[in-house]
Amino acid sequence: MSGRFDGETAIVTGSSKGIGKAIATELAREGANVVTNSRSYERAEAAAEEIAETVDGAETLPVECDVTDPDSVSAMVEATVEEFGRLDVMVNNAGMTIIGPAEEMAPEDWRQVIDVDLSGVFFGSQAAGRQMIDQDDGGAIVNVSSMMGSMGLHRRSPYCAAKGGVDNLTRTLAVEWAEHGIHVNALAPGYIRTAITDQTMESADYTQEEVENRTPMGRFGTTEEMANCALFLASRDNFVTGEVLTADGGWTAFAWGSHGP
């Protein structure tokens, strides 16, 4: 097995399913040692085993970690370095959402989304950045944001606020760590078919037809497409840092709003 990430090691948080699992799989396919992560060791292990079975020769390590706990995140980085000797790529993908009117949003729900979706990205970036600075040969950090980081969506106040924070955190870390050769970028997906989107559709918040009508490409994106975008950002053979790559099928570019019936 050979690829663009031969000899490199990557952590992907929230990689037991969805976009994170797809990114972890493609990194392994391109030669990286991959650390899978979940708050549940069993889920992280299942993902690691599936990747190892899918990708011939893949080296994986499952790690249980709560991204809202900086000590837990630091321990994950330490376990990675102990197993593989270094850390080259950090993908901060773990995320969640809670849907509801802003005037009714409970303080604990607000804090939970901010803790996972924003603080978790900072703690992951911080722990990875420290390790990459110590290694003194650069690295790449990819923060999974959302197109909602640059626009408003009703009943998503904590999610939109967190993702907007991720976008500007990404720019700030890119500027701060450029001198260390660390690329820091964000991937901002649109509507992708994952467990979270299925969950919100089940709540009757929106329908598949509404999303397809609102998206110029006329469909949901796939986790494989998001993985391809993430791997571009994770590679360092480019002059890109501090960018937010929006992969939404044209959603944010579409001024009219719907091309469907």
Q: List 189's β-bridge partners, or say none.
A: 247
Q: Which of 41, 159, 191, 206 is catalytic?
A: 159
DSSP per residue over 164-208, as a string?
A: HHHHHHHHHHHHHHGGGTEEEEEEEE-SB-SHHHHHHHHTTS--H
Of 244, 259, 1, give the one whose Cα is nearest residue 144.
Answer: 244
Q: Which residues contact 158 (CB under 8 A, 6 or more apart)?
A: 97, 98, 105, 109, 110, 112, 113, 114, 117
Q: Look up 191 and say whether it is catalytic.
A: no
Phi and psi (nearest 5°) for 209? Answer: -60, -40
Enumerate the active-site residues. 159
